[in-house]
Amino acid sequence: MTTETKSAIRRVSPVCFAAAPGESEDRDGWQVVTRYENEGEEGPWLVDLSHRPRWDVQDGHVDALRPGGVSVPQEAGQCRLQDGLLINRMNRTQAAVWHLAGATDGMPAEAAYTDVGEATLMLALFGPQTLRICEKLSALDLAGLQRRPPFLVQGPLAHVPCQIVVAQRNSGDFGGGILWTCSRGYGRSMVHAVLDAGREFGLRPAGEQRFTDWLPSLSSD
C-alpha cells in the first residue's frame, strides 16, 4: 500500500457525541476532536480515545515480550503504565497494549500481536464523581477494590463485556478516572448509557486535549 493510498483512508470512530466541536484535526485518517464547546472546567468528562492505537498480545511466553520496550506485568489484573504506554495483563497468555500518548513506531512483526483498534472503541471517564457514575453502570465495585491503580477489571459496564482499567482513584470527592474498551458495535448505546448515568453529576463530552492534560497525573509503575 502506497503512502498516497494510506493518506486517503478515512477512519470513523464508533463513538459520536451530540456536542459541537470547538477544535479538531485530521490525524492518520481520523477526525480527532481536541476540544468541544461548553466542556466546562470542573468535570467530570467523557473522552473518545478510539483513535489511539491498541494491540492484543497472545503468546505462551507473553511474560518475555516487551511491547514498546515495556515489560508485561506478571499477574492477571496488573497494569504497567510507562511513558504513556499502558500494558494490561489479562490472563496467563494474553495482554492488552494501549498507546495512551498516541505515539507508536508501528506494531511489532511477531505473530503474537494483533491490531484491535478498528474492532473496538476506547473511552475515558474522569474527574469529580467518576466512581459514583460507575456505580450506576456496573455491579463491579471499582471504588472498593483494595488495589493500587492502575489495575484491570474484566466485566460488564452498562451490561457490555469490557476491559476496564481503574487509572486513578480519589476518595475525597469519590472522583478518579477509568479507561475501557469493548466491541465497537456498542458505541452508540455505550455513550448514551454513560452520559445518562452522569447527567445528575454534570458529565459532559470533552476533547482529546482534556485527556492529554489529565494523563500525566496518573500513577506509573
Question: For residue 7, what pLDDT is reported?
Answer: 53
Report the phi/psi class of residue 215: left, alpha or beta, with left for phi > 0 and alpha for psi in -120 to 50. Answer: alpha
Are 89 and 127 members of one domain?
Answer: no
* 76: DSSP letter: T
CB distance 97 to 84 below 8 Å: no
Instruction: Note whether 185 and 79 are same-domain residues.
Output: no
pLDDT bin (cut points 50, 70, 90) of residue 144 is: confident
Q: What is the pLDDT of residue 175?
A: 85
Residues 80 and 144 in one domain: no
pLDDT (mean) for 65-73: 94
- Better-scored residue on pLDDT, 107 or 198: 198
Does 85 lie in the same domain as 175?
no
Task: Say if residue 221's pLDDT is above 80.
Answer: no
Angstrom distance (rounded) from CA 28 to CA 24: 13
Question: What pTM, to 2 d.p., does this model score?
Answer: 0.93
Residues 71 and 128 in one domain: no
Task: Please state, in angstroms and rounded to a whole number, the distance separating the CA atoms of residues 44 and 205.
Answer: 9
Structure confidence at residue 161 (pLDDT)? 97
85 and 147 assigned to the same domain: no
Count CB atoms within 10 A of the CB of residue 92. Answer: 10
163 and 101, same domain (yes or no): no
Range(s) of the domain holding residue 70: 54-115
Is residue 1 a part of any domain in this protein? Answer: no
Cβ contact 78:165 at 8 Å: no
Q: Which three cell numbers stand for residue 69?
A: 520496550
Q: What angle do CA 68, 71, 75 make, to 5 degrees?
A: 135
Question: Is 20 part of a structural domain of the chain?
Answer: no
Judge if 58 and 46 occupy the same domain.
no
107 lies in some domain: yes
Q: Name the average pLDDT for the chain.
A: 92
